[in-house]
Structure 1
Amino acid sequence: MSCAQLPYLFQLALSQSQSYPKNTIYKTIDAYPKFLERAESQLSDREWDLFEDNPYEWEVPIRDLDTACGKDIDKYNVHNHQKLLERLGICVQKPLTNAPTVISTRKDPKCRFIYLYGSHSRAKLRLTRAMLLDILTFHQVMPTFLDFLYVFGQQSETTELQFSSFKEQVVLTNPPDELVLPSLGRSGKHYQMCYNLKSAALKSKNTENSTLNEWTIRQVVVHHQFDVINGNILWIVLRGNIDIQQRFKALTDRNARSEDKSFGTPEDCFRSSLSAQLMYCYAATEDWRWYIKWLENVVDKEHIMAVIGPPGVGYAHKTYTPRDIQDLQIWEEKTRRVILALEGNLDVMLALVSFYRKLSRNKSFPLRKPCASDICAFASQVENIVSDFRMQIKRAEFLVRTISDRRQLVIQHLQSQSASRAERLSRSMEQEQVFMLIITVVTLIYLPATFVSTFFSTNVVKYQDSNSPGGTFSAVAMKRWLQVTIPLTVLTCGVAYLARQYMVGKRREGEFGLEEGRSTLWTVKNFFNSSVALLPFHNRAPHDPKGSFFNRVMTGRTQDIELSDT
C-alpha cells in the first residue's frame, strides 16, 4: 500500500469534514459565508430525520470500476465509519508531537459509484452524518448538493414533490492548487452537476378492484463529477430503494456493452458517463404512461354516469352526493401533481442537454472535438424522452379538463336532484292543500246544520212540552244565552288577537337582535337583472319600519328593498 502526501488545505478540509460545507476548497460567488452557515444549520436541523442511528442498518454500497490496482470491478458494502475511510483511501496519522497528518493510501478509480439509500422513499438514509460528510469532503462536492438531500429522510407523507432543480459547477481553467492532486489522479480541471428526477411506481396492486391500486412518485438525486484531463468519473446517487443501483450494475456488468463501461481514455470515460446519464433519464420515464392511464380509468369508472347516465323518471341513474365532488377534486389534485412532476423532469433534462451543448462549445474543454458527435447523439436521445414527456403532459392536462367538466356535471346533477325533491315536496303540499280545502268545504256545509242543532238543543226553544205541541220560546233563556255567548266570543277573539300580537313582537325582537350582528351580504340577481340583498339568518339589515323583508316581497313592494350594502 503506497501512501501519498496531500496538500495542507486538503488535509485541513478532511480533518474538519464535519464542518462541511464550510470546508469546501473551491468557493463560487454564491457560496458566501452566510449561505454556508445556513446550509450547515439546516443539515443539523434535519440530522435526526435524515440519518440512521442504528449501527446494524448502516450500509453504503460503493462500486469502483477500473481501479489503480488493476481490477475491472471492485465492489464493497460499507457498514461503519472506519471501513468507509479505508475504502476511500484516507489515513489519519497522529504523531505524538506534531498535528495529525492525512495521507491517501490509494488512487481514485476511473469510475466510482456511491449509492445512498433508505429502506423506502420515506425512511432514513442508511448511513450517519459523519459518513456522508466524509464522502462529500473527500470528493469536494459542491455545497448545493445538500438542497437535494432534503427530499429524503423520515417523513409521514412524501414531501418536496414540487422540488426540481439542476445545478452545475465548471472548473476548466486555473483550478485551485489544493484541488490538483496527482496522487489521487485528480487534475483539478473538472465539472460537476447535481439534479433530481421523478418516476412513477405501482406501490401495491389490488387484483379485485383496480381503483384501489396505490401509486407513488419516487425521486432520484444524481451527483456527477468528471475530470476532463484524466477522465475520472464520480457518481453519488440517492434513492429510496436499490432500484438505480441494480440498473447501474447491469449497465457496467461483465455482460454489458463495452462502450458503456470503457475507461481506457478520457474520451471513453466521457462516453461511458453519457451512457449512465441516459440510463437515469430513461429510468425517469417508466410507468408514467400507466399511471396516467390508471387515473383515466378510475375517473371513467367512478364518474362516467355523470355523462351518459339518462336522467328522468323510469331510468336507472346515480344519486349524487357532495362526496362525489370531493372525489373528483382528489383525482384532479393527483393529476396536477403528475403534471408538475413531468414538467420538472422535462426542465431538468433540457438543462442537462443545454449543459453538454455549452460544454461542447467551450474552448477550454479538451474533449469537445473528439466527443462532439457523442454529445449530439446524447442530446438527440434526451430530446426524444422530452417529447414523450410533453405528450404525457398533454394527456394529463386533458384529464384535468375532463375532471373539471365532470365536476360541473355532478354539481348540475346535485342541483337537479334538489329541484326534483323540492318539486316532489311542492306536489305533496298541493295535495295536502286540496285535502284541507275538501275538509273546509265539508265543514262549511255542515256548519249551519251543526249550529241549528246546537241552538235548538238549548232551553230557548222547546219541542218536548206536551202542553205546547207547537213549541215554546223562552225570552229569558235567549237573553242568558246571548249574555254568555257574546262575551265569551269576544274574549276568545281578543285572547287570540293578543296572542298573535305577542308572537309577532317576539319574532321581530329576535330578528332585530340578529340584525345587529350583520357583517356580510349576498346579492342574488333576479330574472330582470335587478339585484336583491339576501341576508343570512344570522345577518339581518336594521329594522325597516315599512315591514319585514318577507312581508314586502309578499306585498310586491320590492322597490323598497336596498340593493347594496350601506
Structure 2
Amino acid sequence: MDETTDNVKTIVGKDLSGYIKKSRLESLLEELFGKKIDVSMSNDRYWFYAPPPTPTQISRLPIYNKITPFDPILNYSHIDSRVLNNTMMFTLSETDRRAGEKDVFDRWWQYPSNIVLEPSIVNLQSYSDRMSDARPTLFCGSSLETEVEIIDVRASSEGSRAFKAEFCTSEDVEQYISQTATPTTRIISLHCQNSLEPLKITEECLNKVLSFHHVGIEFLDLLFAFGGKPRESEAGLGGLTSFTADMSYLLVYVEESRGKEKVSWPIRQTAVFRRFAPDTPEENLWIFIHPMPNSVLKGKVEDAITHGTQFRNCTSVPQLHSLAISSYIENSRWYLKALSEEFEDIADIALTLEFSRPEDYTEAFKTLAKLQYLQERILPSHTRFNTTASIVSGLQELNSSFHDQGFLETAAFIALDNSFKSYISKYRGHVASIDLLKSRVQGVLNQLTVALTLKNQATSVDINHNMLLLTHDTVDDSATVKVVTLVTLLYLPASFVASLLGMNLFAFQGPNGNGFQISSRFWIFVALTVPLTVLTVGSWFYIAYKRKRNKAIKQRSQQKGWPGLEV
C-alpha cells in the first residue's frame, strides 16, 4: 500500500491480462474512480495503484473479482449476484416443482449419484464438495444467458440427415431433449464466452442433460478444468479415459491471438466426450466444451456434420477425434518457434552484458526475470505435449479395436491410423524441441546467475580489500597514538610534580642580585617524579600485557571449543 496516498497496488495476473487491453483497462478505471489511473505492465502482468474499491465499484468492474491485491491486509467484502443465484438455485422451495417433473431426467438434482451404479467405487462426497466450490465459476446464473447448440443426425429413407438447433434459454434445451425423438447421433456443443468466463449453461440444465443421457462421472473431471485459464497444476490431467462405450479427454493447446501491439499465445482447452454404441444407435453421443463461441473445432464439426456425409454414419467414430486433434496440432509448432525467437532475443542481451558497466549490471536483473518467465511457460508445455501424445496413442488403439470388431472399414482404418501416427510423431518432435529449448534456457539462466554471483563476489572482494587497507591505516594511526601516549606518560608525572611544587625550586635572580640558582632541596622533585613516572608507565605496560594475555586465552578457548577463562 502506498502510505502517502492510501492507494493499493493491484496486480492483474497473466491469466487475465491477455483478455483486456491496457488502454481499455485504464479507461474502465478512470470511469470507475473518476480520475486517471496509470497502468503499468511487466512480464505480461498489469499493475496499478488505485484506492481500495467499494462493493459498488467492484460490481461495476467485474475484473476486480479475479485480480490480486498486492496488500495482504486488504479483504474485499462483496457479493457477486451470479454466485448468489447459483448458491440459491436448489432450495427447498423447489421441492414441489421437482416432484411434478417427469422422470425423463432421472432425478437430475441428485447428479451424479443418480447415474452411478456402484457408489462404493466413487467418492461422491468429494465430487459434491468440488462442485460446490466450483459452482460460481462454472455455470451462468440465469437461464437467459444459456447458449447451447445441438446437432442431431437422423436416419431417413434418403440417408442420414443433420439438423442443427441453437438454444438461448435452459427451458428450450430441456424441452427439446425431453420431447424430441432420440436421433442416431447427437452432438451437444457447450462453450464459454472466453477462457475466464463460466459455461453458457446453468447447473440445473447441464445436470438434466447429463442425467438424461446417463453421462458418467468421469465427465466431471473434464468439467472442473473450466471456469478459468488452464493451470500448470493440471498439465498432466485430461488423458483419454475409455470404458466399454464411453471415452473422454481434455485437449489443452495454444492458439495464436493477434493484437494491434503484439502476438500472444494463450493456453486454451477443449473437452471431448464420446459414447459409441453401434448396437443401439440412439445412444451415440458427442459432447464438446469449447473455450469460446467461435472456436476452430466447433466450426469444423458443424461443417463436417452438416455438409460432409462421411461423418453422419454412427460407425465413423474416430473421424471426429482426428478432426479435433488436427484443428490445433499445427499451432504447437509456431508456438515453439515464437518461444525460440523470444529466447534468442533475450540470449543476445544476456550473452553480451558487460558487468563492469553499471547499466549492464541493472539490465542483467531484468534479463534474468525475462528468462525465468520464459521458463515458466516452457516447463508445462512438455507435460501437455506428452499428455496429448498419450491421448492420440489411446485413440489409435481404439481405432484398431473398432477395425477388428468390424465397425470401421479397412480404407478408413488405414487413413486414420496413418493420421494418428503422424500426430504422435509431431508431438514427439515437439517434446524433443521443448526439451532442447528448456535446456538452452536453463543454460543461459545458469550462466547469467553465475555471472551475477561472480560480479557480486568481485564487488565483495573489492570492499574487503578496501576495508583491509583502511584497517592498516587505522593500525598505523593507532601506533602513532600509542607513541604519543607513551611520550605523554613520560612527561606527565614531571609536569604534575612541577605544578604541585610550583616554581620555588628555581630562582632566576638571587637575593644579592645574583643569577640563576637551584634550590638545595631539588632532590625532592627528582625523588617524587622518578617513582611516579615508573609507576605510571609500569601500570600502563601491565594493563596492556594483561589485556593481550586475556585475548590470547579467549582465542585458544574458542579454537578448542570451550568457553575459556575469565581473568
For 1:17, the aligned partner's letter is W
User: Kindly tell me: are residues 484 and 15 of structure 1, through their superposed partners in 2, closer, same or farther at Cα, counting changes over 3 Å?
Assistant: same
CA contact 1:224–1:236 (8 Å) conserved in 2: yes
Q: Distance in 1 between matches of 2:358 and 2:426?
A: 43
CA contact 1:14–1:134 (8 Å) conserved in 2: yes
CA contact 1:122–1:158 (8 Å) conserved in 2: no
CA contact 1:353–1:379 (8 Å) conserved in 2: yes
Alignment partner for residue 62 of structure 1, among 150, 157, 166? 150
* Structure (1/2) with the larger helix percentage: 2
Q: Distance in 2 between matches of 1:62 and 1:454?
A: 111
TM-fit CA distance, 1:342: 0.7
Find the counterpart in structure 2 of residue 41 from structure 1: 128
For 1:373, the aligned partner's letter is A
Alignment partner for residue 295 of structure 1, among 339, 342, 347? 339
TM-fit CA distance, 1:85: 2.5
For 2:143, the aligned partner's letter is P
Report which stretch shifted further, 283-292 or 63-72.
Answer: 63-72
Per-residue CA shift, 1:339-381, capped at 9, x if unaligned?
111111000011011111112112xx4x34xx12102201211
TM-fit CA distance, 1:394: 0.9
User: Kindly tell me: are residues 161 and 464 of structure 1, through their superposed partners in 2, closer, same or farther at Cα, counting changes over 3 Å?
Assistant: farther
For 2:176, the aligned partner's letter is R
CA contact 1:17–1:23 (8 Å) conserved in 2: yes
Find the counterpart in structure 2 of residue 223 from structure 1: 273
For 2:186, the aligned partner's letter is R
Alignment partner for residue 239 of structure 1, among 285, 290, 300? 290
Find the counterpart in structure 1 of residue 79 from structure 2: none
How do 1:60-209 residues align onto structure 2 when only pairs under 5 Å count? 60-66=148-154, 72-88=161-177, 90=178, 105-153=179-227, 160-170=234-244, 191-202=245-256, 207=261
CA contact 2:106–2:211 (8 Å) conserved in 1: no
How do 1:364-375 residues align onto structure 2 when only pairs under 5 Å count? 365=406, 367-368=407-408, 371-375=409-413
CA contact 1:63–1:74 (8 Å) conserved in 2: yes
Q: Distance in 2 between matches of 1:387 and 1:400?
A: 20
CA contact 2:489–2:537 (8 Å) conserved in 1: no
For 1:348, the aligned partner's letter is I
Secondary structure, counterpart of 1:287 in structure 2: helix
Secondary structure, counterpart of 1:141 in structure 2: coil
For 2:430, the aligned partner's letter is Q
CA contact 1:165–1:348 (8 Å) conserved in 2: yes
Secondary structure, counterpart of 2:201 in structure 1: coil
For 1:19, the aligned partner's letter is Q
CA contact 1:13–1:23 (8 Å) conserved in 2: no
How do 1:231-380 residues align onto structure 2 when only pairs under 5 Å count? 233-244=284-295, 247-253=297-303, 258-261=308-311, 263=312, 266=313, 269-271=314-316, 273-309=317-353, 317-318=360-361, 328-362=371-405, 365=406, 367-368=407-408, 371-380=409-418
CA contact 2:153–2:184 (8 Å) conserved in 1: yes
Q: Distance in 2 between matches of 1:325 and 1:463?
A: 84
Find the counterpart in structure 1 of residue 74 from structure 2: none
CA contact 1:223–1:235 (8 Å) conserved in 2: yes
Q: CA RMSD in A?
A: 4.6
TM-fit CA distance, 1:204: 7.6
Q: Distance in 1 between matches of 2:166 and 2:307?
A: 25
For 1:51, the aligned partner's letter is F
For 1:294, the aligned partner's letter is A
For 2:325, the aligned partner's letter is C
Alignment partner for residue 410 of structure 1, among 441, 448, 451? 448
Q: Distance in 2 between matches of 1:254 and 1:155?
A: 28
CA contact 1:260–1:276 (8 Å) conserved in 2: no
Alignment partner for residue 523 of structure 2, among 458, 470, 475? 475
CA contact 2:354–2:361 (8 Å) conserved in 1: no
Find the counterpart in structure 2 of residue 20 from structure 1: 111
Aligned length: 451
Find the counterpart in structure 2 of residue 551 from structure 1: none
Q: Is residue 395 of structure 1 aligned with residue 433 of structure 2?
A: yes
TM-fit CA distance, 1:279: 1.9
Find the counterpart in structure 1 of residue 141 from structure 2: 53
Q: Distance in 2 between matches of 1:153 and 1:255?
A: 28
Q: Is residue 544 of structure 1 aligned with residue 556 of structure 2?
A: no
Find the counterpart in structure 1 of residue 421 from structure 2: 383
Q: Distance in 2 between matches of 1:504 and 1:120?
A: 75
Q: Distance in 1 between matches of 2:357 and 2:411?
A: 70
Secondary structure, counterpart of 1:399 in structure 2: helix
CA contact 2:113–2:119 (8 Å) conserved in 1: no
Q: Distance in 2 between matches of 1:501 and 1:216?
A: 73
TM-fit CA distance, 1:222: 0.5
User: Kindly tell me: are residues 446 and 302 of structure 1, through their superposed partners in 2, closer, same or farther at Cα, counting changes over 3 Å?
Assistant: same
The unaligned stretches of length 5 or more in structure 2 are 1-101
The unaligned stretches of length 5 or more in structure 1 are 1-10, 91-104, 171-190, 513-539, 549-566
Q: Distance in 1 between matches of 2:460 and 2:156?
A: 85
Secondary structure, counterpart of 2:287 in structure 1: strand
For 2:562, the aligned partner's letter is D
Q: Distance in 2 between matches of 1:279 and 1:463?
A: 124
TM-fit CA distance, 1:194: 1.2
Q: Distance in 1 between matches of 2:387 and 2:530?
A: 96
For 1:130, the aligned partner's letter is E
User: Kindly tell me: are residues 334 and 457 of structure 1, through their superposed partners in 2, closer, same or farther at Cα, counting changes over 3 Å?
Assistant: same
CA contact 1:305–1:317 (8 Å) conserved in 2: no
User: Kindly tell me: are residues 438 and 128 of structure 1, through their superposed partners in 2, closer, same or farther at Cα, counting changes over 3 Å?
Assistant: closer
Secondary structure, counterpart of 1:115 in structure 2: strand
Identity %: 16
For 2:524, the aligned partner's letter is V
Per-residue CA shift, 1:319-352, capped at 9, x if unaligned?
6878866664443343120111111100001101
User: Kindly tell me: are residues 453 and 487 of structure 1, through their superposed partners in 2, closer, same or farther at Cα, counting changes over 3 Å?
Assistant: closer
Secondary structure, counterpart of 2:329 in structure 1: coil
Report which stretch shifted further, 456-465 or 415-424.
Answer: 456-465
Q: Distance in 2 between matches of 1:487 and 1:133?
A: 104
Report which stretch shifted further, 61-70 or 51-60.
Answer: 61-70
How do 1:413-424 residues align onto structure 2 when only pairs under 5 Å count? 413-424=451-462
Q: Distance in 2 between matches of 1:53 and 1:547?
A: 79
Q: Distance in 1 between matches of 2:214 and 2:200?
A: 21
For 2:431, the aligned partner's letter is I
TM-fit CA distance, 1:405: 2.1
Compute the TM-score of the two structures, normalised by the length of structure 2. 0.65
CA contact 2:106–2:212 (8 Å) conserved in 1: no
CA contact 1:166–1:348 (8 Å) conserved in 2: yes
CA contact 1:60–1:114 (8 Å) conserved in 2: yes
For 2:111, the aligned partner's letter is Y
